[in-house]
Structure 1
Amino acid sequence: MTKGHDITTEEIPRRVRLVFAGETIVDTTRARLLHETGIPPVHYFPRSDVRTELLEPSEQRSVCPFKGEASYWSIAVDGRRAEDAVWGYKDPLPERVDIKGHVAFYKDRIDEWIEDDTF
């Protein structure tokens, strides 16, 4: 890790649901919260808890020197779209295997973000 730049993840001990265009697209009790120096915390969700049939692959790519190459997806539900609203690292760098198989969502592109303390 670069001096002065830290990344840690933690399990979130609550149920998290994301809704877009009236459809629940994520429902999980296994989200992880990634903390990275200089960036607000980001929720990562196991792909197995995401309705991937509502996601369409995007041409968009980005590279993070600390996590690797990110792929993006758009959400498509009943004629509504949120372009490049989801990203994930198919093959993250070895230091970030804790987010392999997970995806993240831009909060401002989701209609409802619900976190419950009980599940």
Structure 2
Amino acid sequence: AASYWSLQLGDKTYSDFVWGYPRPIPEIPKIENLLCFYNEKVDLYVDGVLQERPVSPFS
């Protein structure tokens, strides 16, 4: 199962901001301890261009 972590910046808390698999299933060991960010919640740049944030249930 995935684990989720919140981020606290000053007085604001961003719930479930980061997620990952600290103990993945044996078939996918390479994702162990990698961190993931929902691009709905962060600014994402590709080749210096800010990408539009998708709208989804995770927004």
Root-mean-square deviation (CA, aligned residues, Å) is 1.7
* Matches for 1:12-31 after TM superposition, within 5 Å: none
Q: Distance in 2 between matches of 1:115 and 1:77?
A: 25
1:93 to partner: Cα distance: 0.6
Q: Distance in 2 between matches of 1:88 and 1:79?
A: 25
The alignment-based identity, stated in percent, is 35
Q: Distance in 2 between matches of 1:75 and 1:115?
A: 24
Q: Distance in 1 between matches of 2:45 and 2:12?
A: 20
- Alignment equivalent of 1:113, drawn from 44, 50, 54: 44
1:81 to partner: Cα distance: 2.0
Higher normalized strand content (fraction of residues): 1
Matched, 1:102 2:28: no
The count of residues paired between Structure 1 and Structure 2 equals 48
1:100 to partner: Cα distance: 0.7
Q: Distance in 1 between matches of 2:24 and 2:14?
A: 24
- Alignment equivalent of 1:80, drawn from 6, 9, 12: 12
- Highest RCO, 1 vs 2 (Cα 8 Å, sep ≥ 6): 1
Higher normalized helix content (fraction of residues): 1
- Structure 2 unaligned spans of 5+: 49-59
TM-score (norm 1): 0.36
